[in-house]
Structure 1
Amino acid sequence: MVKRTRLLLRRPKNTKALNQAPGTVTYIGRKESVETRLEVIDYNKESFDRYTSLRPEDAFNFESDDKITWINIDGLSNTEEIVKLGRYYELHPLIQEDIVNTNQRPKIDEYQDYIFLVVKMLYFPKDVTDKNNGSLISEHLSFVVGKDYVLSFQEADGDVFDNVRERLANSKGRLRSNGSDYLLFALLDAIIDQYFEVVDVIGDKIELLEESLFQSQPNDDITFEIQELKRTILRIRRAVFPLREVLSRLEKLDSDFIDEKTRNYFRDLYDHVIQVSENIEIYREMTWGLMDMYMTTISNRMNEVMKVLTIIATIFIPLTFIAGIYGMNFEYMPELQWEYSYFILWGIMLLIFLIMLYYFRKKKWL
Structure 2
Amino acid sequence: MKCKIPFVELPNSFPKSDVDVYRVLEEDGKYYIRLELDGKPMYLTFSANEIVLHSKELYEMVSREEIDDCSPLGILDEIFYIILYQLGTKRTQLFLEFDNLFDLITSGKIKDSKRIILLRKRILTNYSDSTVIYYVSRRLSKFLSAESIEDVKFNYERAELLVTRSGDLYNIYLTEVQNDLNEIIKKLTSISFIFMPITAIASIYAVDYTNVYNTLINWQSLIFLSPVLILTVLLVIYLRRIKWL
TM-score w.r.t. the length of structure 2 is: 0.81
Distance 2:59 2:120 in 1: 24
Deviations 1:66-123 (A, max 9, x none): xx6412246x5xxxxx24xxxxxxxxx4xx122x7784453252634x4433211x2x
Conserved 8 A contact 2:6-2:53: yes
Among candidates 59, 65, 68, match of residue 174 of structure 1: 68
Q: Quote how far apart the aligned CAs of 1:357 are.
A: 1.4
Q: Which secondary structure does the structure 1 equivalent of 2:5 belong to? A: strand
Is residue 33 of structure 2 the alignment partner of residue 117 of structure 1? yes
Q: Pick closer, same or farther for the CA change 1:297–1:333 going to 2, 3 Å.
A: same
Unpaired runs of 5+ in structure 2? none
Unpaired runs of 5+ in structure 1? 1-44, 49-67, 77-81, 84-92, 123-136, 254-262
Among candidates 79, 82, 97, match of residue 15 of structure 2: 97
Partner of 2:92: 200
Distance 1:335 1:194 in 2: 88
Instruction: Quote the RMSD (CA, aligned, Å).
Output: 3.3
Conserved 8 A contact 1:160-1:190: no
Deviations 1:282-306 (A, max 9, x none): 1212222222222211111111011
Is residue 12 of structure 2 the alignment partner of residue 142 of structure 1? no
Deviations 1:239-291 (A, max 9, x none): 322432422342325xxxxxxxxx4xx32121112112112221212222222
Q: Quote how far apart the aligned CAs of 1:312 are.
A: 0.8
Partner of 1:165: 63
Is residue 4 of structure 2 the alignment partner of residue 72 of structure 1? no
Distance 1:108 1:289 in 2: 37
More helix by share: 2
Distance 1:105 1:345 in 2: 85
Q: Which amino acid aligns with 1:356?
A: L
Conserved 8 A contact 1:247-1:267: no
Conserved 8 A contact 2:20-2:34: no
Q: Which amino acid aligns with 1:230?
A: R
> Which range is displaced more, 178-187 or 316-325?
178-187
Q: Which secondary structure does the structure 1 equivalent of 2:43 belong to? A: strand
Higher relative contact order (CA 8 A, sep 6+): 2
Q: Quote how far apart the aligned CAs of 1:311 are.
A: 0.8
> Which range is displaced more, 329-338 or 306-315?
329-338
Q: Quote how far apart the aligned CAs of 1:193 are.
A: 0.9
More strand by share: 1
Q: Quote how far apart the aligned CAs of 1:149 are.
A: 4.0
Give the count of matched residue pairs: 245
Q: Quote how far apart the aligned CAs of 1:333 are.
A: 7.9
Distance 1:110 1:237 in 2: 28
